[in-house]
Amino acid sequence: MIDFEPTEGDQKILDQVRAEALICRNYARYYDEHEHEFPPEELEEAKGKPNVYTMFAGRSESDSGIGIMSMLISAGQTWGDYSVRMHRGTGGLGNAALRAAGTPEQNEKWGETTLAMAITEPGCGSDPSMVQTTAVLDGDEWVINGEKIFVTTGCRCDGVVVWATVDKSAGRAAIKSFLIEKGTPGFVVAQKEKKLGIRADDTAAFVFSDCRIPRGNLLGGNEEVQQKGSGGFKGVMKTFNMTRPGVAAIGIGMAEAALDFTRDCLTEAGFEITYGGGLHSAPAVVDKFQRLEAKYEAAMLTILRAAWLSDEGEANNTEASVCKAKTGEAVRQITQGCIEILGPMGISREHLLEKWFRDVRITDIYEGTGEIQRMIIARSLLGYTRKELN
Amino acid sequence: MISFKLEEEQQIARDALREFADQVMRPIARECDEEEKLSEEFLAQSWELGLVSTQIPEAYGGGGEERSPITNAIILEELAWGDVALAIAALTPAAFAYAIVDHGTDDQKQAYLPLFCGDSYHAAALAVNEPTVAFDPSIPRTVAEAKGDGFVISGVKSFVAMGDRASHFLVVARNNGGLDAFIVPRDAEGLAISKNEENLGLRGLPTATLELERVELPASARLGGEAGSDVRQLLDNSRTALAAAMVGVSRAVLEFAVPYAKEREAFDQAIAQKQGIAFKLANMHIETESTRWLVWKAAAQLEQGIDATRSAHFARGYAAEQSMWIADQGVQVLGGHGFIRDHLIELWFRSARTISVLEGTLGI
Ligand SMILES: Cc1cc2nc3c(=O)[nH]c(=O)nc-3n(C[C@H](O)[C@H](O)[C@H](O)COP(=O)(O)OP(=O)(O)OC[C@H]3O[C@@H](n4cnc5c(N)ncnc54)[C@H](O)[C@@H]3O)c2cc1C
């Protein structure tokens, strides 16, 4: 049945997430201004409180799906703050890759660790098939050489899933994922990047020089390089089907915070925000605000749609891109619009709105830019291959 | 539980109406528009589908199925994909009948619902729109006053669908500071019905302007009787219905533009291979989907009896903006050919502009 209301059980979890998020918000400004300090693994306030994810136990069939709830929880958390959590989360983007492509043994070995994901290089971002980092088999070890940049959780992760080519002449089919643990000789965290927003997040640059890892660290274990087609590569790309909705959810939570703040300011200033009147009945500022709200609603629903398909076990490749593209644009328009509505008050660092405006900007960039998502959507609409539309 | 799952019957209804829209509506859409004439044969065919009577209780001769705004939103998207003018023509009686089912007294149900359960098309219509600048349906200029046991209504209503033949109009008016809806028979004294309006789009749909000059009505004409009715809910319902129809137009445009862009070549390539075109198509798809989920959310709230005013406001406002934008992009994808009346894109461009300024009219 088509339904958009969380169950009582869902709501209990989401209420707790929001309550915790409000606590985290108290720390938001501090870690934004102290970019090189890390938020604690666990806040003082978290002591003795259950991690929300443990509340998933005991949920029934009639509650919303795990994918849907993960999106709502992410959004609820970032509604508080992007980087500060009561409890540190249970993994990074690399963990999603491990779950999607790792062997059972690999999942057993690294499933509990926090893994970052390193695809992007100084010379290659949107087109990951141009990865220059190399992996050469030498006896029972892979030797990794290359540079990776913009690695989320790069400083605090226990290890990283690195994309490298085993044969530069073989194109995309030769790109494989390798699991490299922190502390491996030849693996250096070169720097923590300085950013526009999400400053408390540790985004790092890595250098690998003759970094030797065991042969078994090839994710999925398939050493073969298919000469034709991109089957293997597509497998690797599958990771994005939940991470794209995931980063969209992260973005929409911040946009919601911006809307809530703006609504409070408008109400306090005496503007009445009502619905149901004519299209031209509200004052311009209220109309503008409501249009931003509609964008929020629309984006949120595309995220839930992609997550729901995943919960149903259905393909959601296009929908993951739809929600990422839609949200990437919506959160920019929403936070930019909220500042416009509030004017000088909106740009003051006394409030978090200017921070949200900076923080959400990443949504349309990482995990594939808005342009790349549109290319994926268009290819799917048109039945085009990568060759026919790029 | 948050879910996008269609019930099996909803899937069946969607598929059946998609076929009906494709095979019965599409072939006649252009001709109805050009000749500004509804196809009576189409009305009969659509009536046979039982679209209007299915959700009328058995006690009044209907199919007895639960009222389902969600199912109706899905159906409306399909029919509007076929043609908006024809879709409104087919479903105008439903808008009236659903208002009676949802808000009417037993006597009103007894009196009016059987009209829609017969073998042939029967028209009755909502009269909500008014020809005023910046029209606000929550503060209409049409006003009712108490007189004796009954009411006197005065005002002007426009874009009243099937105005050429509707037996009754459900007129929304201000009453004593609030909103009420009144059942006005076609032959009421003081009611003047214009000949068919001439509009930008939906030319196949006969619409009329109603002038109500101190029309006297008995107390029983007030929807919901003494208690009155939740006209806000009725307007929310219409807004959601209109938005559902706009999704249908958007999808029609997109589904036409995609194969066209693959076929048409310029500069040694299909135009679809140029990002300037491909990204337009992607955006059209993104917004068609976004709008549909807004509609479903409002429809789900209506179905569950939750206050849907905010969701319906978003659905209608967003759909209005996006369906116009999508139709506009559709014309651009076709270039000069988008401007020529050979293709339906030109008609959809006018449909989008027309339907997106309306209130009332439809119901789900
Ligand atoms: C804070 C942050 C965190 C990140 N985290 C990670 C991480 O954890 N792991 C990781 O591997 N990467 C990460 N990234 C990298 C991110 O995914 C890339 O920056 C992004 O994919 C874009 O690549 P690029 O920066 O090289 O831009 P480019 O590829 O140089 O693109 C520049 C512009 O050109 C456009 N463009 C490129 N190709 C096309 C095309 N075919 N058609 C139309 N337009 C095109 C792009 O959309 C963009 O607008 C992170 C980046 C940031 C800033």
| A220, A244: one domain | no
Does the residue A84 lie in any domain? Answer: no
CATH number, domain at A369? 1.20.140.10
Looking at residue B240, its pLDDT comes to 98
Mutate which: A8, A60, A279, vs B, most B CBs within 10 A: A279
| A188, A292: one domain | no
Nearest to A293 among B4, B312, B314 (CB): B314
Contact A279, B320 (CB under 8 A): yes
Does the residue A87 lie in any domain? Answer: no
Please work out whether the CB of residue A365 comes within 6 Å of at least one atom of ligand 1: yes
Looking at residue B116, its pLDDT comes to 98
Task: Name residue, tokens 């199925």.
Answer: B65
**Measured from the CA of A375, which atom of ligand 1 is nearest?**
42
Looking at residue A76, its pLDDT comes to 97
Q: Which domain holds residue A165?
A: 100-227
| A178, A252: one domain | no
Kindly tell me the sign of the dihedral angle through the C-alpha atoms of A341, A345, A348, A351. Answer: negative
How does pLDDT run along chain B (364 residues), one tens digit per residue?
999 999 999 999 999 999 999 999 999 999 999 999 999 999 999 999 999 999 999 999 999 999 999 999 999 999 999 999 999 999 999 999 999 999 999 999 999 999 999 999 999 999 999 999 999 999 999 999 999 999 999 999 999 999 999 999 999 999 999 999 999 999 999 999 999 999 999 999 999 999 999 999 999 999 999 999 999 999 999 999 999 999 999 999 999 999 999 999 999 999 999 999 999 999 999 999 999 999 999 999 999 999 999 999 999 999 999 999 999 999 999 999 999 999 999 999 999 999 999 999 999 9
Q: Where are the alpha helices (DSSP H) in chain A?
A: 8-33, 66-80, 93-101, 104-110, 231-237, 240-268, 284-311, 317-342, 344-347, 353-359, 370-382
Structure tokens at B354: 């027309």
Say if the Cβ atoms of B261 and A3 lie within 8 Å. Answer: no
End position of a domain, from candidates A194, A227, A260: A227
CA–CA separation, A332 vs A324, rounded Å?
12
Please work out whether the CB of residue A126 comes within 6 Å of at least one atom of ligand 1: yes
**Atom 45 (ligand 1): residue with closest C-alpha?**
A371
Query: How many contacts (CB atoms, under 8 Å) link A and B?
Result: 159
CA angle B30, B33, B35 (to 5 degrees): 105
Looking at residue A238, its pLDDT comes to 61
Does the residue A95 lie in any domain? Answer: no
**Atom 44 (ligand 1): residue with closest C-alpha?**
A371
Question: What is the nearest CA distance from A252 to chain B, expressed in angstroms?
Answer: 14
| A246, A287: one domain | yes
| A222, A247: one domain | no
| A106, A200: one domain | yes
Looking at residue A225, its pLDDT comes to 86
Asked if B138 is an interface residue toward chain A (Cβ–Cβ < 8 A), one would say yes
Say if the Cβ atoms of A280 and B136 lie within 8 Å. Answer: yes
Nearest residue in A to B321, CA atom: A291
Nearest residue in B to A281, CA atom: B136
Taking contacts as CB-CB distances below 8 angstroms, the residues of chain B near A293 are 314
Angle, in degrees to the nearest 10, between helices A93-101 and A240-268: 150
Give the total number of structural domains in chain A.
3
| A247, A376: one domain | yes
Contact B309, B315 (CB under 8 A): no
Taking contacts as CB-CB distances below 8 angstroms, the residues of chain B near A301 are 290, 293-294, 296-297
CA–CA separation, B344 vs B341, rounded Å?
7
Select from A330, A325, A250 the least CA-distant residue to A291.
A330
Say if the Cβ atoms of A275 and B300 lie within 8 Å. Answer: no
Nearest to B1 among A63, A322, A388 (CB): A63
Residue ranges, chain A, pLDDT below 70 = 89-90, 227-239
Active site residue A224: no
Conformational region of residue A385, where left means phi above 0, alpha means psi within -120 to 50, and beta covers everything else: beta
Does the residue A343 lie in any domain? Answer: yes
Structure tokens at A281: 């009945």
Does the residue A212 lie in any domain? Answer: yes
Phi and psi for A41 in degrees, rounded to 5?
-60, -35
Contact A205, A220 (CB under 8 A): no
Please work out whether the CB of residue A93 comes within 6 Å of at least one atom of ligand 1: yes
Contact B101, B224 (CB under 8 A): no
Please work out whether the CB of residue A155 comes within 6 Å of at least one atom of ligand 1: no
| Residue B329 CB contacts under 8 Å (≥ 6 apart), including other chains | B253, B257, B280, B283, B284
Q: How far is the CA of A16 from the centre of ligand 1 (A)?
A: 34
Taking contacts as CB-CB distances below 8 angstroms, the residues of chain A near B314 are 275, 290, 293-294, 297-298
Catalytic residue among A223, A367, A371, A388: A367
End position of a domain, from candidates A78, A108, A127: A78
Taking contacts as CB-CB distances below 8 angstroms, the residues of chain A near B310 are 275-276
| Residue A263 CB contacts under 8 Å (≥ 6 apart), including other chains | A273, A289
CA–CA separation, B151 vs B198, rounded Å?
32
Q: How far is the CA of A201 from the centre of ligand 1 (A)?
A: 17
Looking at residue B55, its pLDDT comes to 97
Looking at residue A58, its pLDDT comes to 73
Mutate which: A2, A66, A302, vs B, most B CBs within 10 A: A2
| Residue B123 CB contacts under 8 Å (≥ 6 apart), including other chains | B92, B93, B162, B165, B166, B167
Output DSSP code: residue A390.
-
Say if the Cβ atoms of A298 and B236 lie within 8 Å. Answer: no
Say if the Cβ atoms of B297 and A275 lie within 8 Å. Answer: no
Taking contacts as CB-CB distances below 8 angstroms, the residues of chain A near B290 are 298-299, 301-302, 326
Please work out whether the CB of residue A151 comes within 6 Å of at least one atom of ligand 1: yes
Looking at residue B176, its pLDDT comes to 93
Select from A365, A326, A361, A364 the least CA-distant residue to A125.
A365
What 3-state class would DSSP assign to A150?
Answer: strand
Question: What is the nearest CA distance from A344 to chain B, expressed in angstroms?
Answer: 28
Say if the Cβ atoms of A294 and B314 lie within 8 Å. Answer: yes
Q: What is the dihedral of CA B5, B9, B14, B15, to 10 degrees?
A: 110
End position of a domain, from candidates A203, A227, A251: A227
Does the residue A257 lie in any domain? Answer: yes
Does the residue A232 lie in any domain? Answer: no
| A248, A359: one domain | yes
Kindly tell me the sign of the dihedral angle through the C-alpha atoms of A370, B310, A276, A272. Answer: negative
CATH number, domain at A175? 2.40.110.10
Taking contacts as CB-CB distances below 8 angstroms, the residues of chain B near A388 are 273
Say if the Cβ atoms of A3 and B2 lie within 8 Å. Answer: yes
**Measured from the CA of A371, which atom of ligand 1 is nearest?**
47
Does the residue A85 lie in any domain? Answer: no
Taking contacts as CB-CB distances below 8 angstroms, the residues of chain B near A294 are 294, 314, 317-318
Residues 205-264 of chain B whose Cβ lies under 8 A from any Cβ of chain A: 232, 235-236, 254, 258, 261-262
**Atom 24 (ligand 1): residue with closest C-alpha?**
A125
Domains by residue range for chain B, with CATH: 8-117 (1.10.540.10), 125-227 (2.40.110.10), 231-355 (1.20.140.10)
